[in-house]
Homo-oligomer: A and B are copies of this chain.
Amino acid sequence: MNNNHSDDQLGRARVKSSPELEAYYKELEGLGAGALWTVANDIEPWEPRSYSVPMLWKYDELRDLALKSAELVTPEQAGRRVVYLVNDNRKAVSAAVGWLYTGIQVTKPGESTSAHRHKASALRFIMEGKGGYTVVDGHKITFEVNDFVITPNSTWHEHGVAEDGETCVWQDGLDIPLVNALEANDYAVYDGKQELKYPVNYSVLNYGNSGFYPTHENWNKPYSPLFKFEWKKIYPALVEAAKVNPINAYDGVKMRYSNPITGGHVMQTMGASMQLLPAGFSGKRHRHTGSFVYQVAKGSGYSIIAGKRFDWKTRDIFCVPSWAWHEHHNASDTEDACLFSFNDLPVIESLGLYQEQAD
């Protein structure tokens, strides 16, 4: 292998045009064909190439607008009352980065949506409010700020906030653009609301204790039987993990939300992590394939992504495109910072497409 990335070498397409060739190309075109060498260097890049740009969405700017949606439309009209975040270069596919969609959903006390399902998978990361819940295939799951909740592929789901709750805001993450691109999405509406088939938070009570699972179930679905990952457990776990593990030069202390009966990703198409940047952490840069959407769960700092600096604080959302160099910095010398992120690593990994590079 050589490291010369010039297209003017053996092994790359280096055909010079000529009238004869142009005529030939025309003839091919008429038959629904083309000469590979006219596009080869373009479709076979030397390195992974992303179509997205890095972006940051400041919650200070978006919050009021998101809340305003609650005055403008009802859930009944909108289906879901969501402000979605779109990458400047991915508007055609409504993606925040790569093939990942993200949005901010607002639900007022007493509101609830009707149920639906789709081949796209979904996840939620809770930003504000009290009394929020989701119902996934008959499982009601209550949630609090910084909890992480999954809604796997083809499960019936609906959301709401208790009458005595407070307006809830959460981030939705979906692979809608990917599933559309793969020409496999579908959609169905439920007649009304789901019946609760399990006690509230059943999945947490049965699968929320590491290595201690029910013998009466034989879970064989391709996603985590644990539907909620609670911040009240996650943050202390992260703090303790930070004490006993080496601090990674790029990522601080990074733990993966995992399927507790496979150790793998929580769903087939999207994964998620929480990482702690210790006080004063100043990360090195690296890059890897896979697209990432971050939400700042705690603290403030900045990231340099593809050479551009993005300052963030709690609740801000930003993205890192595939193969973009990136580094994270905690702005505080006394407080840790926590970054939630979700990604398409299950896709990238299961198809054998992961690679990374340190600077």
Contacts and interface: CB of A to CB of B under 8 A. Distances in A.
Interface string A9-47: 111111100001100100110011111110110011111
A310 interface: no
Contact of A241 (B62, B205, B291): B205
Contacts of A333: none
Contacts of A334: none
Interface stretch (A112-120, A159-167, A296-304): A112-120
18 contacts: A1-B117, A14-B77, A14-B78, A28-B65, A43-B93, A43-B101, A44-B187, A45-B186, A181-B181, A182-B344, A184-B353, A205-B244, A207-B210, A208-B237, A211-B259, A213-B258, A269-B351, A346-B351
Contacts of A24: 65, 68-69, 72
A242 to B, nearest CB: 10
B229 A189 contact: no
Contacts of A332: none
Interface string A333-359: 000000000001011101111110000
A70 to B, nearest CB: 12
Interface string A223-243: 010100100011001001101
Contacts of A55: 32
Contact of A211 (B62, B266, B353): B266
Contacts of A248: 216
Contacts of A314: none
A11 B190 contact: yes
Contact of A10 (B81, B189, B198, B202): B189
Interface stretch (A82-90, A123-131, A278-286): A82-90
A92 to B, nearest CB: 11
Interface string A65-106: 100110011001111111111111000011000110101000
A86 B213 CA distance: 31
A28 B234 CA distance: 33
Contact of A191 (B1, B33, B153, B184): B1
A322 interface: yes
A260 interface: yes
Contacts of A179: 353
Contacts of A34: 83-84, 86, 94
A96 to B, nearest CB: 9
A244 to B, nearest CB: 4
A61 interface: yes
B183 A50 contact: yes
B350 A351 contact: yes
A20 B199 CA distance: 43
Contacts of A37: 73, 77-82
Which of A255, A348, A354 has the largest count of B CB atoms less than 10 A from its CB? Answer: A255
A293 to B, nearest CB: 13
A261 interface: yes
A245 B44 contact: no
